[in-house]
Amino acid sequence: MQSIQDRLAQRARGKAPSPIRELVPLMKLPGMISLGGGYPNPETFVFGRVEVSFKQGSKIVLEGAELVAASQYGPSDGQPKLVQSLLDWQQKKDGVRLEANQLVVLNGSQEGLFIMPYLFLDPEDTVVVSEPDYSGALGAFGSFCKNTLTIPLDAQGLDTAALAGVLSQRRGAGERMPKFIYVVPNGHNPGGVALSLERRKELVRIAEEHDVLILEDDPYQLVRLDASQTPPTLQSMAPQRVVRLDSFSKIFTPGLRVGYASGPAEIIRQFVLFKQSSNLHTSALAQALLDKFMRTAGYEGFRAEIRKNCERYRVNRDAMVAAAREFLPEEVRFNVPTEGMFIWFELPKSCNAKRMIDADTRQELVIAVPGEAFSTRGGCQNCLRASFSMVSPEQIREGMKRLGRMVEKELARS
């Protein structure tokens, strides 16, 4: 396996740690008199007490030393208490035991989608994405390199046979191999599909064969719409090759902006160096609130809360599926998602979703996202992403009825 150092992009090579940030752990040693950090004096902090009550009945209070820690600058890899909670969370959730130096708290998983290409992609590099794929990831990768190897997505997730073919061909031709393979394994945004167990195994095998890293972006893992089990994470199958992004946006609250990256210690160290020179660390207050909630609710309590919220999404998903069957022309194809918030509709090839939206959305008063927003090469023009997370079952039914009329008009036009 090629070393991490040799894989790094030019911009990330030889990056030295911040001399001040590296002193932070030493400042905590008992008896230490620190004349080091340029921290503001806690006496000047404005919070006296922070109390948050949760809808499920529990309440947390931050005061005294805990509140000072939540108000002060903190370590770049995350608040130590939250890091411990997340290590336990990962073990219980995925059966993966990580060390503290294998995890870094981020400003949402989106920050990881920026750091990964920052670390690994030079302009002449390539990265594997799917068609369609999450526009936020495509945008972040595109900031560093324009070359994508685009692999189709079907009902089983990323088409691993196509991936194997493309990588073997590239290698045979002596072309540069991709730096990493980007995968959203559950409740794909926008594809609404999950990567099957067989494909997961195959993906790991292919990555091993060609010595390519995997970026596993999994914000919908626990947004489960059925009682079925989540297949094992890619990280659990190949811990040395996978950088995994977890997010609390869909299962706790997105405005707090807390997610985390985990993976090989050497890569996580690079993430931490990035944070040292970008935003120092994720909000200590946000981390403290999440940590307190996790400790108060306990693992089972938190999972139960998530399951309860997923019930709402399940009802909405069922409403959208039923309305799609009732109101959309038969030629429109879609998959019933088992996780996440999206259904991906494929209209006949002659249709153009953007043209349809431009022509009729103001009149019909229903909106969905045209598929080309999720393609790196102007593809998916006949596709649409519809989200069922923010609307009621009644609105979904009415919305799909209107969408059905729009599709009929587009079919007539095309």
For residue 360, the minimal CB distance to ligand PLP (Å) is: 26
For residue 113, the minimal CB distance to ligand PLP (Å) is: 6
For residue 288, the minimal CB distance to ligand PLP (Å) is: 18
For residue 276, the minimal CB distance to ligand PLP (Å) is: 20
CA distance linking residue 42 with residue 25, whole number of Å: 18
Interacting residues of 231 by C-beta distance below 8 A, sequence separation 6+:
185, 194, 195, 196, 197, 200
Q: Show contacts with ligand PLP in window 146-165 (CB under 6 A).
A: none
For residue 250, the minimal CB distance to ligand PLP (Å) is: 8
For residue 45, the minimal CB distance to ligand PLP (Å) is: 28
Query: Please, which residue, 225 or 351, has the CB nearer to ligand PLP?
Result: 225
CB 252 within 8 Å of CB 286: no
Residue from 86, 98, 184, 297 touching ligand PLP (CB under 6 A): that is 184
The span from the first CA to the last CA of the chain, in angstroms, equals: 51
Query: Please, which residue, 341 or 366, has the CB nearer to ligand PLP?
Result: 341
For residue 134, the minimal CB distance to ligand PLP (Å) is: 4
Name the strand (E) or helix (H) holding 333.
Answer: strand 333-334
Query: Please, which residue, 220 or 327, has the CB nearer to ligand PLP?
Result: 220
CB 250 within 8 Å of CB 219: yes
> Is 111 strand, coil or helix?
helix
Query: Please, which residue, 109 or 282, has the CB nearer to ligand PLP?
Result: 109
Site track for ligand PLP across 234-273, x = CB under 6 A: -------------x-x----x----x--------------
* Residue-wise burial string across 15-47, b where 16 or more C-beta atoms lie within 10 A, e elsewhere: eeebeebeebeeeeeeeeeeeeeeeeeeeeeee
Query: Please, which residue, 102 or 110, has the CB nearer to ligand PLP?
Result: 110
What residue has token string 């693992």? 299
CA distance linking residue 238 with residue 345, whole number of Å: 33
Query: Please, which residue, 214 or 351, has the CB nearer to ligand PLP?
Result: 214
Residue from 77, 94, 216, 217 touching ligand PLP (CB under 6 A): that is 217
Q: For residue 216, give Cα distances in angstroms to 128, 246, 411.
A: 12, 9, 37
Question: What is the sign, positive or negative, of the torsion defined by CA atoms of 25, 31, 33, 38?
Answer: positive
CB 177 within 8 Å of CB 167: yes
For residue 252, the minimal CB distance to ligand PLP (Å) is: 10
Count of residues engaged in binding ligand PLP, rule: CB under 6 A: 13
Q: Is 310 in the site for ligand PLP (CB under 6 A)?
A: no
**Other Cβ atoms closer than 10 A to 176:** 12
Residue from 157, 178, 219, 399 touching ligand PLP (CB under 6 A): that is 219
CB 100 within 8 Å of CB 122: no
Query: Please, which residue, 96 or 138, has the CB nearer to ligand PLP?
Result: 138
For residue 86, the minimal CB distance to ligand PLP (Å) is: 14
Query: Please, which residue, 249 or 278, has the CB nearer to ligand PLP?
Result: 249
Q: Show contacts with ligand PLP in window 90-149 (CB under 6 A).
A: 108-110, 134, 136
CA distance linking residue 109 with residue 182, whole number of Å: 13
What residue is closest to ligand PLP based on CB? 108
Residue from 71, 90, 102, 189 touching ligand PLP (CB under 6 A): that is 189
Query: Please, which residue, 249 or 309, has the CB nearer to ligand PLP?
Result: 249
Q: What is the DSSP letter of 21?
A: G
Biggest CA pair distance of the chain: 79
- Work out the burial of residue 78: count CB atoms within 10 Å of its CB; fewer than 13 is exposed, 13-18 middle, 19 or more buried: buried
For residue 218, the minimal CB distance to ligand PLP (Å) is: 8
Residues near ligand PLP, by CB under 6 A? 108-110, 134, 136, 184, 189, 217, 219, 247, 249, 254, 259
